[in-house]
Structure 1
């Protein structure tokens, strides 16, 4: 059956940063290509469930908001993740519930007070050329769509639900300014001073900067017991590296596939959404996870 594709949205203002992301680009890390995919997989998956899209659809990942769109056809959407105080024709809409845009409508995705990432998902997902078995954007390798003002986003000509759909409030993830995340320790943990390791797992760190490649934190410094040459080894989303200045970097969805900095540990996949949704200035605490459990 042939899929009929139509124009959905025209980007009027691209905001801070946005990208099209599906489940990710798998089986290419050995060639140095990150998996990419959603930073906050929990919100991404819940958004798909609301729409009844369980397959590998493509969503628009929006950092910090500041975007506006013109609807080019009638279609149904859901906006999940951080509450971006979105409006359609200057009227507020609820996150985590489906809504309809008619041709000519103006959607504004403004700025959030808690959380940093939202996902705009149309029924059927956005339609984009697949490169290396994925539509996920990874601009450093020129993979995927580089969204600019005036970019047209396409989707499937999909039937609209008769009734609105959404998520009960108690199931909606919350994005406070402080999170605790579980860490599986690395074998390289014994490269560091014991007192610094104890402080790492007992004190707070603050997000100072970051993007889809990595989040940079400030807090108690970790010092190595002695200078030691470390061979580069594989890394992944959630790896915590310690560069020479002693402040942690958490590798994110577009993080490099190998690294030569010593590694404290790996954040559990179930907690990565908490890291992804942090805003500059938010705090994080690392909890040592018993690997036997």
Structure 2
């Protein structure tokens, strides 16, 4: 394991104040929240509302998300994370920015979410991606985020690292570090290929990862490598460290056949330079 790698841990969710617990339960059960048409959901499977509510709970209990935070959603898709956040973030003190390379998702979010919640804003970032935006203008390694330094308190990167090659992930983490305020947090999900995940016993059968040469990438589908990307254990740890983060949590997911409260592996990292 790399010198900067953090031992993985599976931790119990934080106990929440009663009013916060009530709010999260209310959001999860709110059948009036908007949902896109099923045939327009271009990334992620499962129940749109349930998964969004599940991740909101993870953001709060594992990541320490506060209602007053300025949130950036990297790869905002068609609003799966944004919709529950409209109910959680404070309408005056909190704010949200999301970007994605797929225009259809940005347009649905803008017309459906921004119209009702003006502090939620979305934009297309025309980054090339073999699956989601093959005609993109900017390569992933040259990408720069269209936000000022220290603009955010909390960055969400759910199911994005699982679709990026190593050099592009490094660029994203450097840019996220730039736009995060000191002591701001990054909530990132990934597939980490530790010793247990390298075996097939108990693992999600859809994820037959094979290492790409000498690594650090592992691909589940050689015909479409970016459909599911995993990384050598320790690689993301090192990228986070060199990008200016300290890792507060590295929790392994149940995709590898272990008991966990979340499917993918979760990192919560704090930008160095401020008080916790």
Same fold, judged at TM 0.5 (above): no
So what's the TM-score if we normalise by structure 1?
0.23
Higher Rg:
1
After TM superposition, the score normalised by the length of structure 2 is 0.24
Indicate the structure whose relative CO is greater, using CA pairs within 8 Å and at least 6 residues apart.
Answer: 1
